[in-house]
Homo-oligomer: A and B are copies of this chain.
Amino acid sequence: MEWKTKITKVEPNHLVTKGYRQEDLIGNIPFSHVVYLLLKDELPSKEHGLMMDAILTSCVDHGTTPPTAMAARIVASGGVPLPTAVAAGILSIGDAHGGAIEKGAKILQDAIFKMKKENLKIEKIAEIIVKESIKENKRILGFGHRIHTMDPRTKRLFILSDKLKISNEHVALSIAIEKELEKQTGKKLPINVDGAIAAITSDMGFDWRLGKAFFLIGRVAGLTAHVYEEQTDFKPMREIFTANIKYNGPNEKNLP
């Protein structure tokens, strides 16, 4: 039985990751570029490397409000090791939390593929996508945010991707969808940070199936800080959150 892997060759005193000796990578290549190497099988250009740094940093933390941070802190408060609590935070990255990067990137990548095949214009594709989403009453993922109307991370990421000449058809399609959304619904639903990362990583050539990966790798830094803060500044089993909980199950009764 043989098992093939393209990631790391392990021999005594010799480690080769995606073609490069680890002793060459360590201290010569920024960590963010090594992340890029691991996910894309090549070292980034200067522009792509800078963009990867920006994307990971944009995912780092959003305070205690998202499920990632809440879950990590609550689990930490049970009195468990740091990695166990950080992992609990990661588990909450799902279709509704960070998942818009993956699904958003899929929509964009499928649409651009279709656009090229059928020789359509970006505006036309955007119009179709928005029309369908309204018809099926389904949100297009990557637009709108529960707290921000003009997310500072989104703005900054797009300025960078423009400046670094990374912005291309996927970013253009995102902007066209934003316009169409306003046109067809009358409401402003600005691209959110997930949507920006979906568009930019698509223009960088990443597979949409890695959508949650960028968020995860960046967010782990923030989660580690949350767990460390919980473990060093607070007592175990403290009352973290309050909620007015009401039992509305079956009425109290005797056993049959």
Contact = CB atoms under 8 A, between A and B. Distances in A.
Interface in A10-54: 10, 12-32, 34-35, 38-39, 41, 43, 50-54
A18 B157 CA distance: 20
A8 to B, nearest CB: 4
A64 interface: yes
A57 B27 contact: yes
Contact of A92 (B74, B251, B253): B74
B88 A156 contact: no
A117 to B, nearest CB: 23
A231 to B, nearest CB: 7
A229 B207 CA distance: 12
Interface in A146-198: 146-153, 155-157, 160
B53 A31 contact: yes
- Among A19, A91, A250, the one with the most B-chain Cβ atoms within 10 Å of its Cβ is A91
Interface string A228-256: 11011100110111111111111111111
Contact of A221 (B34, B77, B88, B239): B34
B148 A19 contact: no
Interface residues of A, number: 130
B54 A27 contact: yes
B247 A6 contact: yes
A3 B210 CA distance: 35
Given A8-B247, A16-B247, A153-B22, A237 B96 contact: yes
B243 A228 contact: no
A134 interface: no
A14 B15 CA distance: 43
A204 interface: no
A129 interface: no
Interface in A190-214: 207, 209-210, 212-213
6 contacts: A8-B63, A27-B51, A64-B243, A80-B91, A81-B81, A210-B228
Name the 5 nearest CB pairs between A and B, nearest first.
A19-B250, A79-B96, A241-B241, A96-B236, A79-B95
